[in-house]
Amino acid sequence: MKVNIDKYSGFCWGVVRAIDFAEEELARSGKLYSLGDIIHNPQEIDRLGAKGLATISHKDLESIKDAKVLIRAHGEPPSTYEIAKKYNLEIVDATCPVVTKLQERIKKFYDENYQIVIFGKKDHAEVIGLRGVCNDEAIVVKSVEEALTKVDFSRKTVLFSQTTMDKPTFYAIKEALQGKVRDLVVGTMEEIAKTFLAKDTICGQVSGRDKKLREFAMQNSVVVFVAGKTSSNGKVLYEICREENPSTYFVESEDELNPQWFEGAESVGVTGATSTPQWLMEKVGAAIERIDKEVFQKAAQNN
Ligand code: SF4
């Protein structure tokens, strides 16, 4: 059985950058607090934890004194920066530049009195930051149905997306809202042309993965998808794999592997989310090779 590690999977550059920021600071001072998990991957959190990175929640900000706090790639709402200032905390800002750009765009349209619609998950950390830049007045929707019931068609509207959502649903929402908003807003042709805008802000690191991931899933008889169970990007990419190859299994680590999955398989592909470290996929790959060897040895003994 051949085990293939997907060379296109692993950390996106926004996450690599956040980890670099953390490691640089840890090398300097040996202590850093991360506001929320730096990445949705328990093994990587443990690795950085051994170097001095501790995860805290927002309510801990008032009790850590004069410390350094890392803002992870998802970003934070303006209120977090204000709280940090109040408690004299130094911010190590690792907000992904793609997210920063999205926050700026939302703020700009909000200041121009647009109704802000975000295709995303209301309580996802990135979306909490996006809601924060528009005074928590954005309408967050996950589906066409939700968009059609929640959006006020009489207002000029702009649609954005959380960076890790799927493109087909974004474009379906765009299409559903487009005509309705324009039909209801009255004004000059020029004004009407500006009444509904939609900007696909799904990160290229996520959407560009689709095609390559589909190919990888089809090329292997079994696929093991490695990601943290709370990774939103992981869930989306796992579903894509499963669409192409029903023999796809989700694991957080090599401990969850089931030897029965590999019976009769010619090849096993190991892939992961943008939050999955390369070293972890290699570890899972090595464990699958061990399982294969054990099965082979048992079969040889029985013959
Ligand atoms: S997926 Fe894209 S937006 Fe999100 S952290 Fe990575 S590079 Fe940044």
CA of 275 to the centre of ligand 1 (A): 10
Spatial distance between the Cα atoms of 303 and 295, rounded to a whole number of angstroms: 13
Bridge partner residues of 248 (DSSP): 223
Ligand 1 atom nearest to CA at 204: 2
Question: From atom 2 of ligand 1, which residue's Cα is the shortest distance away?
Answer: 203
Q: Cβ of 250: how many Cβ atoms within 10 Å?
A: 17
Q: What secondary structure letter does DSSP report for 45?
A: H
Quote the tokens at residue 194: 């500006």
- Beta partners for 270? 5, 224
Maximum Cα–Cα distance across the chain: 84
Question: Residue type at 10?
Answer: G
- Walk along the chain (303 residues) and give the pLDDT tens digit of each residue: 999 999 888 888 899 999 999 999 999 999 999 999 998 888 899 999 999 999 999 999 999 978 999 999 999 999 999 999 999 999 999 999 999 999 999 999 999 999 999 999 999 999 999 999 999 999 999 999 999 999 999 999 999 999 989 889 999 999 999 989 977 666 677 777 788 999 999 998 877 788 899 999 999 999 999 998 988 778 989 999 999 999 999 999 999 999 999 999 999 999 998 888 889 999 999 999 999 998 878 777 776
Fold of 13-95: Rossmann fold (3.40.50)
DSSP-assigned states of every residue in 133-202: TTTT-PEEESSHHHHHHH--TTS-EEEEE-TTS-HHHHHHHHHHHHHHHHHH--S-HHHHHTSEEE----
CA of 99 to the centre of ligand 1 (A): 7
pLDDT value, residue 179: 85
Q: Whose CA is nearest to atom 8 of ligand 1?
A: 14
- In the set 25, 44, 76, 126, the catalytic residue is 126
Secondary structure letter of residue 12 according to DSSP: -
Tallying the residues shown for the chain, one arrives at 303
Say what the pTM is: 0.82
| Catalytic (active site) residue 76 | no
Q: How many CA atoms lie within 13 A of 74 on its CB side?
A: 26
Tokens (6 digits) for 8: 């296109």
Nearest to 274, CA basis, from 191, 215, 202, 219: 202
- Which residues, in sequence order, are CB contacts of 109 under 8 Å at separation 6+? 116, 158, 197
Same fold, 2-9+207-302 and 98-162+167-201: yes
Bridge partners of 33, per DSSP, are 54, 69
Annotated domain spans of the chain: 2-9+207-302, 13-95, 98-162+167-201
Q: How far apart are CA 75 and CA 37, in angstroms?
A: 12
Ligand 1 pocket: which of 13, 105, 209, 235 to mutate (most atoms within 8 A of CB): 13
Closest residue to atom 5 of ligand 1, CA basis: 14
Taking domain 2-9+207-302, whether its CATH number is 3.40.1010.20 is answered by yes
Residue 210 is predicted with a pLDDT of: 82
Residue identifier of the C-alpha nearest atom 7 of ligand 1? 14
Task: Confirm if 140 and 170 have CB atoms less than 8 A apart.
Answer: no
Q: What is the pLDDT of residue 186?
A: 63
Tell which one of 39, 101, 206, 275 to mutate to probe ligand 1, the residue whose CB is within 8 A of the most ligand atoms. Answer: 206
CATH topology (fold) of 98-162+167-201: Cobalt-precorrin-4 Transmethylase; domain 1 (3.40.1010)
State how far the Cα of 213 lies from the Cα of 166, in Å rounded to an integer: 14
Ligand 1: nearest atom to the Cα of 12: 6
Pocket test for ligand 1, best of 8, 9, 12 (most atoms within 8 A of CB): 12
Q: For ligand 1, which residues put their CB under 6 angstroms from it?
A: 12-15, 73, 96, 98-99, 163-164, 203, 205-206, 274
